[in-house]
Amino acid sequence: MVVIALKELMAPAHHKVIYRKMQELFPGIDLRAGYIHNVLSDRLFQWVDRGTYGLAEWNLPKVKPKKVHEANKQALVNFFKNIGRTANINEINKHLEVLKQKHPDYRQLSKTQVLLQNNPRLFVSYGKGKWGLVK
């Protein structure tokens, strides 16, 4: 059922989207969201991003989360070094959007705020949504 749902969607999708598609395709079957997580661990499927999966037969590029997170942290460090001051989340996200447009291979697996909060050795909150580099 998950394979059929993904083929109908024709692209990798978040497990919640897959679940909704399965409900649409198989309305009489009582499905639990946890069922999908169990099924998606099968080698028929490939993890693409947080909660997002595709079919292994699609030969999607391999994602290495640790490398991606390191690249995300480095992009934020470079941003703060370049501007030389604190910045709010909207300003940071705008910069990251420009970065994604210039470098289509750049991926972000966590929200910006999560990256900032989870790296207290690199980033510090100055309150009211302002962030900067630890000195």
Could you tell me the two tokens for 116? 């900032």
Alpha carbons within 13 A on the beta-carbon side of 29: 14
Which pLDDT does position 44 carry in this prediction?
95
Could you tell me the two tokens for 121? 């050795």
Burial of 92 (0-12, 13-18, 19+ CB in 10 A): buried
Q: Average pLDDT for residues 101-118, to the nearest whole number?
A: 79
SS3 for 33?
Answer: helix
* pLDDT, averaged across the chain: 87
CA-based nearest residue to 69, from 106, 41, 97: 106
| Percentage with pLDDT > 90 across the chain | 44
Inter-residue contact 127 to 117 (CB < 8 Å):
no
Which pLDDT does position 83 carry in this prediction?
94
**In this predicted model, what pLDDT tens digit does every residue of 8-56 receive, in sequence order?**
999 888 888 899 899 999 998 887 767 888 899 899 999 887 788 899 9
Which pLDDT does position 65 carry in this prediction?
67
Length of the chain: 135
Q: pTM, whole model, 2 decimals?
A: 0.56
